[in-house]
Structure 1
Amino acid sequence: MARRWSHVAGFDDAPFPRSHRGDVLVVGAVYAGRCLAGVLSGAVRRDGRNSTAVLIRLVGESRFRPHLHAVLLQGIAFAGFNVVDLRALHEGLRLPVLVVARRRPDLAAIRRALLLRVGGGKRKWSLIQDAGPMEPVAGLHVQRAGLSLEEAAALIRATTWNGALPEPLRTAHLIAGGIATGESRHRA
């Protein structure tokens, strides 16, 4: 029997200046079918290590949690290099988690940056490796926990109806950008 993907939360971080230090806004758009059912927001530390705990708290303590079928992330890191522990997020929420990217990331450049310029970079690189390879599916690249590649494709198809990205991610991106800069810009 195929899984249902009607109730999904998608998370993205807000844009911030390169010189910014401190907390960065993270926004979640919660969809029930094609209807925006709610918005979640919190803050994670720039290049920190609290993104997993913040996401578990935001989703786990929300009124939406009992109905959710999956969580989508726009990339595996928020606020620069605050890398999400994909397995811990999946286990903490007991929900499938799908990391989505438009393009395959340059892992060699990410590794160099983490190991040479970011505090705790070795641990963060390990989290990226533990999440598994970026796999092409439905015109995007994904990392996943708690769902098969076929289920990931079905989840993307079920939640994408306006552009290339799943609507919960597109909406979270637009909301986060609008709050942080006063107006959303760039394509989601």
Structure 2
Amino acid sequence: MKADAVESKKGIRILAVASGPIEKRKRALVIGVVERERTVEGILSCSVEVDGDDATRSMEDMLRSSKFRKLVKIIALDGAALAGLNIVNVEELGKRLGVHLMLITRHKPRKGRLERAIKKFGKANGLDVSQKLVACGNLKSLDIFHEEGIYIMTDLEESSTRRLAPTAFEALRLAHLIARGIATGESKGRI
């Protein structure tokens, strides 16, 4: 049975996290927007290595060092990676922080697609990508829901997912706009 700690609570704080552009950069800006009931309560930031392996640790440090560390109950991400192929180990992050995760995408998740991209990246760059593949394997424990043109992978119950999806998506959109705007001087694009 899935844990559903958010079902009966009103005003759940969601931390939506997005990375800025990665072209010609070694590190990418990561912005977190803390939102509750569609009200922005705070902005967090950190940076991660482009195609690196520090996304999980950096996100954990970003939230733990903030005043929101005990208030955030859900982390929303645009897919499972930040800054290219810097994979977030969602299972590990959820356990360490005691939060639920929502991975939101416009495209239906396709089994094996991310793993193939990671293997190709590792081969092309002569890198060991085993940790990235372990992090990807953890995604298989998440349920997939389709809601108003977006796909959500999460460990939440379906009713909570559907109720919280609009807030999570809007917070994620804001995080994306802020990250891109700060990194390039102007925001543009879609998540």
Same-fold call, TM cutoff 0.5: yes
Aligned positions of 1:13-92 closer than 5 A: 13-17=19-23, 19-20=24-25, 22-92=26-96
Match of 1:150 in 2: 159
| Cα deviation, residue 155, structure 1 | 1.7
- Distance (whole Å) between structure 1 residues aligned to residue 186 and residue 175 of structure 2: 13
1:20-45 Cα shifts (integer Å, max 9, x gaps): 3x211110011132221111000111
RMSD of equivalent CA atoms: 2.0
SS in 1 for 2:119: helix
1:125 matched to 2:133? The reply is yes
| Cα deviation, residue 50, structure 1 | 0.8
Structure 2 unpaired stretches of 5+? 1-6
TM-score (normalizing by structure 2): 0.84
SS in 2 for 1:113: helix
1:65-93 Cα shifts (integer Å, max 9, x gaps): 22222111111000111100011110111
**Aligned amino acid, residue 143 of structure 1:** M
- Distance (whole Å) between structure 2 residues aligned to residue 110 and residue 91 of structure 1: 22
SS in 1 for 2:70: helix
**Aligned amino acid, residue 151 of structure 2:** H
- Distance (whole Å) between structure 2 residues aligned to residue 112 and residue 97 of structure 1: 23
1:123-145 Cα shifts (integer Å, max 9, x gaps): 31332222126613213222224
- Distance (whole Å) between structure 2 residues aligned to residue 185 and residue 105 of structure 1: 24
| Cα deviation, residue 114, structure 1 | 1.1
SS in 2 for 1:53: helix
**Aligned amino acid, residue 153 of structure 2:** Q
Structure 1 unpaired stretches of 5+? 161-165
